[in-house]
Chains A and B, each alone.
Chain A
Amino acid sequence: MKWRKLPGKIGFFLSVIALVSPALLVFLWMLSLSLKNEVDNMAYPPVFVPNPPTLANFIDVFEKNDFLNYTWNSIIVSFTATGLALVLGVPAGFGIAKAKAARAAALIMIARVTPGLSYLIPLFLLFQWLGLTGTLTPIIITHLVITVPIVVWVMIGFFEGLPHELEEAALVDGANIWQAFRHIAMPLARPGIVVAMILSFIFSWNNFIFGVVLAGRETRTLPVAVYNVLTFEQVSWGPLAAAALLVTAPVLILTLLMQKEIVAGLTAGGVKGG
């Protein structure tokens, strides 16, 4: 009996390996490129394992570019856009869930369907007219286009799933709706808030399209900065791979640490930014 199942088991494990290896190999190749010197990166047949590994590419990225500044820009933009989205979106999710405002939820869904680029033309002209170009403000404002719908969408789901009884009890005892929200519903929804925060942060961090249009030399976010490294130094793969790895590393680490929350959020809403 056990022997009969063996081929099936081997086949199953082979298919798991087949599923996982494309993801794994691309990231490993990224790591390999970033740790090799230029001679090895340009070698054919390719050198797979860096020998010896070098950090020269990473040093190069920080020395030749204003990478610290771009990192700081990305941190400010993603944290501010996520923070604002939580302040605005958590109460909104509560209100929409409680009032069963299907139309407001539909509006959020349409925002999810709209291409990010279509917001950019009017906002670009508006920011020019207001004289805001060249600062981080327009980038933060446009990131709200991504973060607010994500937070509202995730929070509607969470507040709908909460039991009503505790809140009703508080209301009967004379609390007002704000107090019921602040002291009852919000603490209960904390796991949802964490999910909303992580997803909103990741999709803001990853966003490229808003930055590429709105950012000036000094206000580039990391993805835009990496793209510009490509256009100016197309031949040197090492620093490029190092820069790419630096940009995406925080997100990958966050995913590894918080995979349960991320999976919960994504399966619930199917949200995606941009």
Chain B
Amino acid sequence: MSAAIDTAPQAAPRSSGRNYARSYWPFVVPAGLVVAAVIVFPWIFTLYMSVHEWKVGADTVFVGFENYLRLLSDDRFGWSVVRTLYFTVLAVVFPVALGIAAAVCFHRNFPGRGLARTIFILPMMATPVAIALVWTMMFHPQLGVLNYLLTSVGLPPSQWSYSPNTVIPTIVLVETWQWTPLVMLIVLGGLASLPTDPYEAARLDGASAWQMFTHITLPLVWPHIMVALVIRTIDALKAFDLIFVISNGGPGTASETMNIFLYLQAFSFYNMGYASAVTVVFFIIILLISLVLFTARRQERWQ
């Protein structure tokens, strides 16, 4: 990122044979050991477990790729993948679109901007469990405040998270409420770094505000929008707390995403081997999607 700036001459090694880069590694070792223990070890152990029949309290048996083959024919898992993708598309599109609009608003100077921005980012810092509980109370079909508001302006009430048809859009609503601020902040950072000259030139040429937005602003902040898109996609794929608290995967299995399926397999049914295989597949899916997005980000040039 800062490669262009880093052209300052590096410190020349004072004595021959002394490698400066190498002598920094003691700083990294303690953290490296901890990362190895709590991050890398779990990765490797998960791979190992995924080729075993591993039920808590029973003997472990090597089964090869049986867990993976079982996944292929497991309809419940297949549907959880479909739901995860459905959830992810919605939970990326809405926060990104709204986040860009919000960033454009907050980029303008107005009295009370600091306070408004702080209130706007409160949802993303708030404890997910706490806000999920409040939203759950608001979603209550009979006593919830949302249905009261809907009916008082003449709209039909909704079943919100209590119906299989509306549960995923409902959780997307909360996810959008919570994570639009992150997109806003990233795009706002991009807007702050924009040069002013193109706007002055465009204004002289008589361009309208909308033309300036689509022809100057959007292309220039496009890299930041892509960053927001990547982060949002990864987070939406991993979403857990809100779904777990609001619907716990229900009603039935209507909001059972991959992450919830994984949780149930591991900590409700204690199928550790099978759950590990789910983890590996889940991880590969996330990694593939992030790689695609990262390459897209590198090659994409908005013209």
- Docked complex: A157-183 residues within 8 A CB-CB of B: 160-161, 164, 168, 171-172, 177, 181
Q: Does B189 contact A (CB under 8 A)?
A: yes
With contacts A208-B128, A255-B118 taken as known, whether A121 is within 8 angstroms of B39 at the C-beta atoms is no
Query: Which of A142, A149, A274 is packed against the most chain B CB atoms within 10 Å?
Result: A274
Q: Separation in Å of the B29 CB from the closest CB of chain A?
A: 8
Asked whether, in the complex, the Cβ of A96 is within 8 Å of the Cβ of B28, the reply is: yes
CB-defined contacts of A87 to chain B, threshold 8 Å: 30
Per DSSP, chain A at the interface is: helix
A113 proximal to B (CB < 8 A): yes
- Asked whether any CB of chain A lies closer than 8 Å to the CB of B130, the reply is yes
- Contacts A16-B116, A118-B283, A245-B130; A171 near B123 (Cβ below 8 A): no
Look across to chain A and name the residue whose beta carbon is closest to the beta carbon of B227.
A270
Q: Is B282 in contact with chain A by the CB < 8 A criterion? A: yes
Partner of B30, one of A92, A94, A110, A227: A92
Asked whether, in the complex, the Cβ of A267 is within 8 Å of the Cβ of B30, the reply is no
Surface stretch bound by A, among B17-25, B66-74, B164-172, B197-205: B17-25
The yes or no answer to A52 lying at the interface (CB within 8 A) is: no
Interface flag for B163 (CB, 8 Å): no
Q: Which of A23-31, A53-61, A62-70, A187-195 is found at the contact surface with chain B?
A: A23-31
CB neighbours (8 Å) of B118 from chain A are 255-256, 259
Q: Is B211 interfacial (CB-CB < 8 Å)?
A: no
A152 touches B283 (CB 8 A): no
Residues from chain B with a CB closer than 8 A to the CB of A95 are 24-28
**Chain A window 202-235, contacts with chain B (Cβ cutoff 8 Å), 1 for yes, 0 for no:** 1001101100110000000011101100100000
How far in angstroms is the closest Cβ of chain B from A7? 13
Contact check, A26 vs B134: say whether CB atoms are below 8 A apart: yes
For A230, give the chain B residue with the smallest CB separation: B133
Q: How far is the CB of A258 from chain B (nearest CB, A)?
A: 10
**B38 touching A144 by the CB < 8 A rule?**
yes
**CA–CA, A91 to B143, complex, Å?**
53
Q: Could you tell me if A259 and B121 are in contact, using CB atoms closer than 8 angstroms? A: yes
Instruction: Flag if A152 contacts B279 (CB, 8 Å).
Output: no
A252 touches B42 (CB 8 A): no
Report the bound CA distance from A113 to B292 in whole Å. Answer: 14
- The answer to whether B89 has its CB under 8 Å from any CB of chain A is no
Within 8 A of B (CB), among A25-60: 26-27, 29-30, 33, 42, 44-46
Interfacial residues of chain B within 31-57, with CB under 8 A of chain A in the complex: 31-32, 34-35, 38-43, 45-46, 49, 56
Docked complex: B94-126 residues within 8 A CB-CB of A: 101-102, 105, 108, 110, 114, 116-123, 125-126
The 8 Å CB contact of A113, one of B56, B127, B240, B290, is B290
Asked whether B42 lies within 8 Å of A251 as measured between CB atoms, the reply is no
Which of B32, B125, B185, B238 sits near A255, CB closer than 8 Å?
B125
B238 partner residues in chain A, CB cutoff 8 A:
115-116, 274
How far in angstroms is the closest Cβ of chain B from A101? 7
Interface size class of B (residues with CB under 8 A): 35 or more
Does A135 sit at the interface, judged by CB under 8 A?
Answer: no
Contacting A at CB under 8 A, from B126-171, are: 126-131, 133-138, 142-143, 145, 148, 152
B8: nearest residue on chain A (CB-CB)?
A164
Is A92 a contact partner of B134 (Cβ separation < 8 A)?
no
Q: Which residues of A contact B34 (CB under 8 A)?
A: 84, 88, 144, 148
Near A by CB (< 8 A), chain B positions 212-258 give 227-228, 231, 234-235, 237-238, 240-241, 244-245
Contact A12 B110, beta carbon cutoff 8 Å: yes
Given the contacts A16-B116, A30-B134, A208-B241, A252 and B102 also touching, CB distance less than 8 Å: no
Query: B136 to chain A: which residues have CB within 8 Å?
Result: 230
A44 CB contacts on chain B under 8 angstroms: 142-143, 148
Q: A12-B110, A223-B130, A244-B130 are in contact. Are A213 and B267 (CB under 8 A)?
A: yes
21 chain-A/chain-B pairs, Cβ below 8 angstroms:
A20-B120, A30-B134, A91-B31, A95-B24, A99-B22, A116-B238, A116-B240, A118-B46, A121-B49, A121-B272, A122-B49, A126-B45, A202-B125, A213-B267, A226-B130, A248-B130, A252-B122, A252-B126, A256-B122, A270-B186, A272-B231
Q: Which residues of A contact B (CB under 8 A)?
A: 12-13, 15-16, 19-20, 22-24, 26-27, 29-30, 33, 42, 44-46, 84, 87-89, 91-92, 94-96, 98-101, 104, 107-108, 110-126, 141-142, 144-145, 148-149, 152, 160-161, 164, 168, 171-172, 177, 181, 202, 205-206, 208-209, 212-213, 222-224, 226-227, 230, 237, 240-241, 244-245, 247-248, 251-252, 254-256, 259, 262-263, 266-267, 270, 272, 274
